[in-house]
């Protein structure tokens, strides 16, 4: 305001004096100063994927800073683990990353088995890997489907949920539960594979490949979707490693890091598959599009693994899947063991003191670490891009808050 | 449908005689707009219920992301102490008549977290009144649909002095 | 580098601050990231040690996998750091033990930004102060929640904001 007043007085004074009219002195207009606004997104918001609250500081439509507030789903996993016996912890692990419960169980039972040096029968390992990979597809289906919702595409969500139901049906036939299974036990499984599952699985692989192609046409290479996601939320690989990113978030930056390859567990060393990484062919390395693209590729790789399992699966093996379950589970010592879940590196740091209950179970939850990078990658973008960036991280609040 | 049964009584074909209560109840139960609000694991099952396989919309239940325009809130998951005050606020923002479905064991009574969950509210009914409890951890989509139909039954008989045979 | 080489290097640099190496490799078939850990006896040295581990040529522990806490229920708390090098594919676990009533340790989030939220969680759950942390607030629980729940002597409150807590 003062500048304008000043200018006016100059013009006024020049008009009312007898002095020769001069060009009024122009005052350099200062940069328009806008006030920063704080916008609260969540904990109830259609696009926060759960009860996450974001305190967004905006300059107009530009995001100046994002402060995530978490803990709205803190269900005291670590306290419960201290009060339960080792097998009783498994249902709580299910409820931690509820979208990929099988993968979570796989991580936990692998950690306890490594602590106790349990050799698991080959058949059990095959079933575990089969289910973990099916779960990866189911989880990526939700991630891709809801990401489409965030970017304004509704139809892929319906297609993907239709396919996901097939996977859940296979799980349900085998262990009775649709969603949270308590299926993998320490040293074994709760039930043997249902005879219908392998034929269903063969059928599913065919159907899923078709859906994969369809989603690529509908969503991935959709011009609107690419415009919304390409070049948005770019993460540098060095920053990603330093910030503890893992899973698709890290691989989208071009870092070839997959626990299944770098620190093999179970029988993953028997299968031939590629580690999906982001590419600069379609968009900037490390951006939101590449995170989605890595998920699409991983879906295909999981199908490859499932096909190899279907070939190699020992059908005539009649081993009891509960034969290796130990009678006494009282491990001593401590371990950090990690597995690759759909969201990244899920590790368990377990301290046992020779008791039936663990002294301490601390999970390294991948979504927690990935979300902590959100402020870093969303500064300077528009508020609409923030939703796209958040969707590309693929968070599960149950795992973040535990 | 209790309301449409009255059609026979008129004998006129195009004229329908009924009480205002029945008419309003019929209108309410046929378009229960649900507040799309997920809390935890059960929210994924709620999403499955809304998606292609189970299709909640055939009962007139449409997700609506604003509390001001919705009739029923489905508490789908664990209510923590940090979230409880927010849920109460959301409930208070809804316009009357409003209904609450408590989905899953966690919001019924604390579920698996009832004993050591220092940050879990053992039952959402400690802060807001609940109309229908759906048990299960998590409940199957069919169970949630059953809960919605029970709620419709309840709405149909609302304000009438009859026995609820449910 | 093998663990013994790393420990020799650390001892030559930090002297007495590096304590005992608890080797558990014979107990366990799984060789990577198993239960072996290194005691760090002096909490004040943690940040320097972290910088050394990250920047020293040949070590380059560029990834902090996990920062966790322990209540030893003998009047002491521990902070456990799991670090690894993505380039050399070696990893190290080190542990620092702190007195329960005055648990303080220098922050490492200037070294690995991953530690930022993990240290906030450690303060929230276990009540360990991280000196020099840029944003030292609770992360999961509300600011006014009484106590630090993962301590073994924690008792949940009867009422919180007017809501009854126990079953």
The pLDDT confidence band at residue A7, using thresholds 50, 70 and 90, is very low
The more confident residue out of A281 and A6 is A281
Q: Which helix (H) or strand (E) holds A188?
A: strand A188-189
The pLDDT confidence band at residue A306, using thresholds 50, 70 and 90, is very high
Average pLDDT, stretch A128-133? 92
Residues of B whose CB is below 8 A from A91? 112
CB A69 within 8 Å of CB A54: yes
Instruction: Mutation target for A interface from B45, B76, B80, B81: give the one with most A CBs within 10 A.
Output: B80
> How far apart (Å, rounded) are the C-alpha atoms in residues A363 and A365?
6
Residues of C whose CB is below 8 A from A78? 125, 150
Q: C residues 77-136 near A, CB within 8 Å?
A: 80, 82, 86, 89, 93, 112-114, 116-117, 125
Average pLDDT, stretch B90-104? 90
Residues 6+ positions from A279 with CB-CB distance below 8 Å: A254, A285, A290, A293
Mean of all residue pLDDT scores within chain C: 86
> What percent of chain A has a predicted confidence (pLDDT) above 90?
32
Per-residue pLDDT at A347 exceeds 70: yes
Average pLDDT, stretch A103-108? 91
Look at residues B132, B107, B140 and name the one whose alpha carbon lies nearest to residue B39: B107
> How far apart (Å, rounded) are the C-alpha atoms in residues B61 and B155?
14
CA distance B139 to chain C (A): 22
Question: C63 vs A241: CB contact, 8 Å cut-off?
Answer: yes
Kindly write down the DSSP assignment for every residue of A342-381, as one continuous string. Answer: TTEEEEEEEEEESSSS-SEEEEE-HHHHHHTTHHHHHTTS
The pLDDT confidence band at residue A108, using thresholds 50, 70 and 90, is very high
Instruction: Mutation target for C interface from B80, B81, B83: give the one with most C CBs within 10 A.
Output: B81
Please report the pLDDT score of residue A25 as a whole number.
65
Q: Which domains does chain A have, with CATH numbers?
A: 2-37 (no CATH), 38-401 (1.10.645.10)
Average pLDDT, stretch A31-56? 79
CA distances for A345 relative to A103, A177, A179, B37, angstroms = 11, 25, 21, 29
> What percent of chain B has a predicted confidence (pLDDT) above 70?
86
Residues 6+ positions from A377 with CB-CB distance below 8 Å: A233, A234, A235, A389
Average pLDDT, stretch B54-68? 86
Question: A239 vs C34: CB contact, 8 Å cut-off?
Answer: no
B110 touching C (Cβ < 8 Å): yes
CB B74 within 8 Å of CB B104: no
Per-residue pLDDT at A132 exceeds 70: yes
A333 touching C (Cβ < 8 Å): yes
Per-residue pLDDT at B19 exceeds 80: no
Please report the pLDDT score of residue A30 as a whole number.
58
B86 touching C (Cβ < 8 Å): no
Residues of A whose CB is below 8 A from C68? 349, 360, 362
Residues of A whose CB is below 8 A from B113? 75-76, 80
Domain residue limits, chain C: 3-141
3-state SS, residue B64: strand
Per-residue pLDDT at B30 exceeds 50: yes
Look at residues A302, A311, A377 and name the one whose alpha carbon lies nearest to residue A340: A302
- Cis geometry, peptide bond prior to residue B97 (ω within 30 degrees of 0): yes
CB C35 within 8 Å of CB A334: yes
A313 touching C (Cβ < 8 Å): no
Q: Choose among A70, A334, A336: nearest Cβ to C66.
A: A336
Query: For C23-144, where are the E strands, in sequence order?
Result: 37-40, 63-71, 76-84, 91-99, 104-106, 129-131
Question: B118 vs C154: CB contact, 8 Å cut-off?
Answer: yes
Residues of C whose CB is below 8 A from A263? 32-33
Cα torsion angle, C13, C16, C17, C22, sign: positive
Please report the pLDDT score of residue A212 as a whole number.
92
Average pLDDT, stretch B21-44? 85
Residues 6+ positions from B23 with CB-CB distance below 8 Å: B3
3-state SS, residue B102: strand
The least confident of A171-180, B1-10, B65-74, C123-132 is B1-10
Residue with tokens 């093996």: A317
Chains in contact with B, where contact requires at least 3 CB pairs less than 8 Å apart = A, C
Question: B85 vs C161: CB contact, 8 Å cut-off?
Answer: yes
Chains in contact with A, where contact requires at least 3 CB pairs less than 8 Å apart = B, C
Q: The domain C3-141 is classified under which CATH number: 3.40.50.1220, 3.30.460.80, 3.40.50.300, 3.30.1490.190?
A: 3.30.460.80
Question: C69 vs A362: CB contact, 8 Å cut-off?
Answer: yes
C29 touching B (Cβ < 8 Å): no
Please report the pLDDT score of residue B10 as a whole number.
55
Q: Choose among A243, A262, A336: nearest Cβ to C114.
A: A243
Look at residues A122, A118, A128, A103 and name the one whose alpha carbon lies nearest to residue A329: A118
> What is the ipTM metric for this complex?
0.91
CA distance A83 to chain B (A): 8
Q: Choose among A239, A255, A333: nearest Cβ to C24.
A: A333
Please report the pLDDT score of residue A33 as a whole number.
65
Please report the pLDDT score of residue A9 as a whole number.
44
Instruction: Mutation target for C interface from A235, A334, A399: give the one with most C CBs within 10 A.
Output: A334
Q: How many CB atoms lie within 10 A of CB B19?
A: 12
Nearest CA in chain A to B122: A75
> How far apart (Å, rounded) are the C-alpha atoms in residues A338 and C15?
32
3-state SS, residue A320: coil
C9 touching A (Cβ < 8 Å): no
CB A399 within 8 Å of CB A342: no
Residues of C whose CB is below 8 A from A362? 66, 68-69
pTM above 0.95, yes or no: no
The more confident residue out of A356 and A20 is A356
Nearest CA in chain B to A179: B138
Report residue A316 as tokens: 């005539």
Look at residues C53, C85, C92, C72 and name the one whose alpha carbon lies nearest to residue C153: C72
Per-residue pLDDT at A4 exceeds 70: no
Nearest CA in chain B to C147: B118
CA distance B57 to chain A (A): 13
The pLDDT confidence band at residue A140, using thresholds 50, 70 and 90, is very high
Task: Note the residue count of chain B.
Answer: 166
> How far apart (Å, rounded) are the C-alpha atoms in residues A354 and A142?
40
The CA-CA-CA angle for residues A362, A366, A369, to 5°, reads 95
Q: Is C132 left (phi over 0), alpha (psi -120 to 50) or beta?
A: left
Q: Choose among B40, B112, B138: nearest Cβ to A91.
A: B112
pLDDT tens digits along A187-218: 889 988 888 899 999 999 999 999 999 999 98
CB C11 within 8 Å of CB C20: no
The CA-CA-CA angle for residues B77, B79, B84, to 5°, reads 140
Please report the pLDDT score of residue B158 as a whole number.
79
pLDDT tens digits along C24-70: 766 555 556 567 888 888 888 888 888 888 888 888 888 898 899 99
pLDDT tens digits along A66-96: 999 998 889 889 999 999 999 999 999 998 8
Cα torsion angle, A108, A114, A115, A121, sign: positive
> How far apart (Å, rounded) are the C-alpha atoms in residues B161 and B159?
7
Average pLDDT, stretch A171-182? 89
Question: Facing residues of C93 across strands?
Answer: C82
> What percent of chain A has a predicted confidence (pLDDT) above 70?
91
The single-letter DSSP state of residue A120 is P
Please report the pLDDT score of residue A23 as a whole number.
64
Please report the pLDDT score of residue B146 as a whole number.
92
C32 touching A (Cβ < 8 Å): yes
Average pLDDT, stretch C88-100? 87
Report residue A85 as tokens: 């016996």
Average pLDDT, stretch A60-70? 89
Please report the pLDDT score of residue A18 as a whole number.
53
Report residue A240 as tokens: 């990603």
Look at residues B165, B146, B118, B130 and name the one whose alpha carbon lies nearest to residue B54: B146
CB A277 within 8 Å of CB A254: yes
Cα torsion angle, A361, A260, A136, A228, sign: positive
Nearest CA in chain C to A238: C62
> How far apart (Å, rounded) are the C-alpha atoms in residues A33 and A12?
27
> How far apart (Å, rounded) are the C-alpha atoms in residues B23 and B31?
13
Question: A243 vs C86: CB contact, 8 Å cut-off?
Answer: no
Question: B126 vs C154: CB contact, 8 Å cut-off?
Answer: no
Please report the pLDDT score of residue A134 as a whole number.
92
CA distance A262 to chain C (A): 8
Per-residue pLDDT at A5 exceeds 50: no
CA distance C155 to chain A (A): 12
pLDDT tens digits along A250-289: 999 988 888 888 888 888 888 888 898 888 888 888 889 9
> How far apart (Å, rounded) are the C-alpha atoms in residues B153 and B163?
12
CA distances for A264 relative to A338, A361, B6, C30, angstroms = 9, 22, 69, 11
B119 touching C (Cβ < 8 Å): yes
C65 CB-contact burial (10 Å; exposed 0-12 / middle 13-18 / buried 19+): buried
The least confident of A326-335, B74-83, C18-27 is C18-27
């Amino acid at each position: 305001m003062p500048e304008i007043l000043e200018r006016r007085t100059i013009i006024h004074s020049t008009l009312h004096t007898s002095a020769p009219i001069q060009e009024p002195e122009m005052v350099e207009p200062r940069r328009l100063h806008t006030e920063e606004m704080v916008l609260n997104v969540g904990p109830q918001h259609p696009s926060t994927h759960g009860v996450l609250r974001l305190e967004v500081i905006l300059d107009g439509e530009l995001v100046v800073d994002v402060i995530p507030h978490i803990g709205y789903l803190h269900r005291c996993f670590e306290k419960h683990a201290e009060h339960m016996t080792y097998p009783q912890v498994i249902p709580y692990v299910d409820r931690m990353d509820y979208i990929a419960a099988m993968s979570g169980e796989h991580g936990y039972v692998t950690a306890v088995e490594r602590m106790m040096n349990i050799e698991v029968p080959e058949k059990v390992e095959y079933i575990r890997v089969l289910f973990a990979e099916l779960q990866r597809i189911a989880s990526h289906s939700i991630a891709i489907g809801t990401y489409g919702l965030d970017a304004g595409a509704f139809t892929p969500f319906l297609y993907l949920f239709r396919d996901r139901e097939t996977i859940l049906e296979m799980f349900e036939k085998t262990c009775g539960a649709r969603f949270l299974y308590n299926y993998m036990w320490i040293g074994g499984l709760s039930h043997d594979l249902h005879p219908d599952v392998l034929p269903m699985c063969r059928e599913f692989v065919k159907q899923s490949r078709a859906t994969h192609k369809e989603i690529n046409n509908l969503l991935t290479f959709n011009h609107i979707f690419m415009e919304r996601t390409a070049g948005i939320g770019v993460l540098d690989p060095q920053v990603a490693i330093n910030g503890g990113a893992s899973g698709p978030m890290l691989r989208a930056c071009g870092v070839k890091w997959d626990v299944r390859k770098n620190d093999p567990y179970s029988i993953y060393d028997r299968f031939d598959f590629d580690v999906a990484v982001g590419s600069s062919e379609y968009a900037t390395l490390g951006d939101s599009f590449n995170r989605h693209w890595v998920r699409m590729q991983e879906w295909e790789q999981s199908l490859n693994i499932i096909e190899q399992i279907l070939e190699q699966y020992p059908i005539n093996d009649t081993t009891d899947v509960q034969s290796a379950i130990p009678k006494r589970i009282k491990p001593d010592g401590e371990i950090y063991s990690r597995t690759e879940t759909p969201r990244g590196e899920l590790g368990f740091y377990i301290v046992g003191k020779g008791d039936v209950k663990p002294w301490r179970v601390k999970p390294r939850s991948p979504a927690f670490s990935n979300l902590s990078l959100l402020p870093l990658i969303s500064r300077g973008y528009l508020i609409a891009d923030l939703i796209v960036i958040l969707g590309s991280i693929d968070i599960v609040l149950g795992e973040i808050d535990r | 449908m209790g309301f449409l049964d009255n059609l026979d009584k008129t004998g006129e074909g195009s004229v329908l005689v009924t009480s205002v209560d029945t008419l309003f109840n019929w209108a309410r139960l046929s378009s229960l707009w649900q507040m799309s609000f997920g809390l935890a694991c059960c929210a994924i099952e709620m999403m499955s219920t809304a998606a292609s396989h189970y299709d909640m919309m055939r009962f007139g239940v449409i997700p609506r992301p604003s509390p001001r325009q919705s009739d029923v809130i489905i508490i789908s998951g664990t209510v923590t102490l940090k979230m409880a005050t927010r849920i109460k606020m959301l409930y208070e923002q809804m316009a009357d008549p409003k209904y609450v479905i408590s989905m899953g064991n966690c919001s019924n009574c604390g579920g698996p977290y009832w004993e050591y969950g220092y940050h879990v509210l053992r039952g959402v009914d400690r802060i807001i009144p609940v109309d229908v409890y759906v048990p299960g951890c998590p409940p199957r989509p069919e169970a949630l649909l059953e809960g919605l139909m029970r709620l419709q039954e309840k709405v149909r008989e609302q304000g009438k002095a009859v026995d609820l045979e449910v | 580098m093998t663990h013994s080489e790393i420990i020799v290097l650390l001892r030559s640099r930090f002297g007495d601050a590096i304590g005992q190496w608890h080797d558990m490799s014979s107990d366990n078939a799984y060789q990577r990231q198993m239960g072996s850990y290194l005691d760090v006896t002096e909490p004040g040295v943690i940040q320097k040690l972290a910088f050394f581990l990250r920047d020293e040529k040949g070590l380059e522990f560029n990834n902090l996998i996990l920062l966790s806490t322990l209540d030893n229920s003998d009047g002491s708390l521990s902070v456990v750091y799991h670090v690894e090098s993505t380039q050399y594919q070696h990893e190290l676990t080190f542990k620092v033990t702190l007195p329960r009533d005055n648990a303080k340790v220098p922050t490492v989030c200037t070294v690995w930004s991953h530690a930022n939220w993990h240290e906030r969680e450690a303060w929230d759950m276990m009540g360990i102060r991280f000196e020099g942390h840029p944003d030292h607030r609770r992360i999961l629980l509300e600011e006014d929640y009484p106590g630090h729940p993962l301590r073994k002597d924690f008792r949940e409150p009867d009422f919180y904001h007017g809501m009854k807590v126990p079953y």
